[in-house]
Amino acid sequence: MEYGAVDGMMEEDAPCRPINEYGKAKWEFYQKAAPLCSRLGLHYYHLRFFSVYGYGDHPWSIISTLVRDLRQDKKVSLSACRHMWNFMYIEDAVQAVYELYRQAADEAPDWKRDGSLRLISSIVNIASQDTRPLRSFVEEIHEIVGFKGTGPLYRPRRAPCLSGLTLPDLRDLQAAGGRNSIPSAKASKKP
């Protein structure tokens, strides 16, 4: 992630200190795309997705693994899962992006004093309003699949993670009227 190791609120205007190549590449893309869009006269939203799940998800993702393996009565071994996490269902993420762009299209042009068009160039976190310990999501999925499987089995040591707290700031998304989430239990039941 672009933010890097953050312990607290992940605000869109916070300094970025990416610690892996994925985060570095996303941050570099933003630094090139924002000025390019401005020169071309285009609005630009730089979207920062948190954990999106649903159709097309990787089979090794935690949600795919839990649903698949627990339904098959397999043992699932996990870290302590004490860190905070945020999942958003794919359809909600699509709706949030749609709402952002619909809002931009609906707004009347805003002209600067020099006669040029004031363009939107914004970083927006795309996440649900449901941030809680990862273990809580794991236990909810275990319940949804009928408490099948012999796990989840948590290792007592906390696994290293990029952040002790994943708490996305959603003010920009909410201001755009973005729908934030289906209640997690309903979404978790979707294939």
The per-residue pLDDT for range 47-82, each reduced to its tens digit, is 999 999 999 999 999 999 999 999 999 989 888 888
Instruction: For residue 172, name the pLDDT band (cuts at 50, 70, 90).
Output: confident
pLDDT exceeds cutoff 60 at 158: no
First-last CA distance in the chain: 26
Flag the least confident range among 134-138, 145-149, 173-177.
173-177
E strand segments, the chain: 7-10, 44-49, 51-53, 77-78, 84-89, 121-126, 131-133, 153-154, 165-168
SS3 22: helix
To the nearest whole number, what is the mean pLDDT of the chain?
Answer: 82
pLDDT exceeds cutoff 70 at 164: no
Radius of gyration of the chain measured on its C-alpha atoms: 19
Instruction: For residue 108, name the pLDDT band (cuts at 50, 70, 90).
Output: low
pTM value?
0.78
Flag the least confident range among 21-35, 49-63, 167-181.
167-181
Structure tokens at 113: 């004093």
The whole-number average pLDDT for the span 166-178 is 73
- The type of residue at 140 is E
Entry field: residues in the chain:
191
Q: Which residues, 6 or more positions from 72, have their beta carbon under 8 angstroms from its beta carbon?
A: 148, 149
β partners of residue 153 = 77
User: pLDDT of 130-144, one tens digit each?
Assistant: 999 999 999 999 999
- The pLDDT score that the predictor gives to residue 45 is 92
**Residue 124 near residue 171, CB atoms below 8 Å:** no
Site of tokens 């993702």: 61
Of 173, 88, 166, residue with least CA distance to 132: 166
**% of the chain with per-residue pLDDT over 70:** 83
Q: Phi/psi at 97 (nearest 5 deg)?
A: -65, -45
